[in-house]
A = this chain, B = another copy of it.
Amino acid sequence: MSEVRRDPIIGRWVIVEEHDKSWSPAEYEREPRVQKQGAVCQFCSGREAQTPPEVDAIRPGAYAPNATGWLSRVVPNKFPALRIEGELDRRGVGLYDMTNGVGAHEVLIETPDHNKNLADYSIEEVVNVIKMYQNRSASLARDKRFKYVMIFKNYGQSAGASVEHAHSQIIALPMIPKYVAEELEGAQKYYDFRGRCVFCDMIQQEYLDQKRIITSNDGFLSFCPFVPRYPFESWIFPKDHGIDFVTMQDKEREQLAAILKDVLLRIKICLSDPSYNFYLHVTPVDYENPQSYHWHIEIVPQLTRIAGFEWGTGFYVVRTAASAAAEYLRGAAS
């Protein structure tokens, strides 16, 4: 029989299949992979003029901004969800609170090479991507209008990627988004009650149980969470609570790059290059309770469609147990 599990932080319930009856990777439908079309891609090297002017880049030589020669490059999103201009204007309309859509929405073009994706990069190339994440986070946090910087990646059509050239997105928001706020609150409650970080306890439990661990290195651990929302959902945590995402240096950056590449490659091999999303859950700008929160990356392969039951309830049905998913991912040669 399936199990019903409750997330200890925000209280979400999930129905998870038993280990023995878990769906294998082959049992999920896969979308057809579209042929890559580099000929007209505006993110490719040599077409810098087709994007808005860059806000940051890694350029090892003495190249000018918006010329070729970059390794990775950040530009404003041409179709932003939020716009950077203007002051915040908070209002009420009857029952409702609202504000104008002030924020930043940037695109990190991760590589000049149209045919590569994150799982295939060298560690050095992944390090460059993480550096850009850090730079933009630090820079946007200095803008007093913003309370949260969200970094995420959509890969493949089912994951909502509209451009196939490898890219990530960075959004700065004038408020803390709901899921993050729930995690912060839940973690703070746990801390108030037990005096410990809930994520540190979770990491310890994963080490004790072993069976949901995918891989690890000196600085980081990756596992399939006990209460997943999606089959093969995979999380990456720094082992040490004290490592800050934005300020971490070379050693941790390389460890993170190594484990991110490792996990993405396992997902690619194990699940036949599925669409996926990942996003960073970090603390808000100037957060006052860093002792209770532990930043991490959540990776979500897109293998199923969300249907009415999930929309209506926030109650997820997951057909592969976390322990079974981790076993498949551990077994994927990389």
Contacts and interface: CB of A to CB of B under 8 A. Distances in A.
A317 interface: yes
Nearest to A305: B160
Contacts of A2: 81-83, 100-101
A202 B94 CA distance: 9
If over half of A's interface residues share one DSSP class (helix, strand or loop), that class is named, otherwise mixed; here it is mixed
Contacts of A82: 2, 4, 15
Given A152-B309, A158-B305, A100 B1 contact: yes
Contact of A161 (B182, B198, B307): B307
Contacts of A150: 309, 312-313, 315
Contacts of A333: none
Contacts of A38: none
A198 B3 contact: no
A132 interface: no
B101 A4 contact: yes
Contacts of A242: none
Contact of A315 (B8, B169, B177, B312): B177
29 contacts: A1-B83, A2-B81, A2-B82, A3-B99, A4-B82, A4-B174, A4-B175, A5-B98, A6-B98, A12-B178, A13-B177, A93-B226, A94-B201, A95-B198, A95-B202, A95-B226, A160-B308, A161-B307, A169-B308, A169-B309, A173-B313, A173-B315, A177-B315, A179-B315, A277-B307, A279-B312, A280-B312, A300-B308, A300-B311
Interface of A: 1-6, 8, 10-13, 15, 81-83, 86, 93-102, 150, 152-154, 157-161, 169, 171, 173-175, 177-182, 198, 201-202, 205, 208-209, 226-227, 277-281, 298, 300, 304-309, 311-315, 317
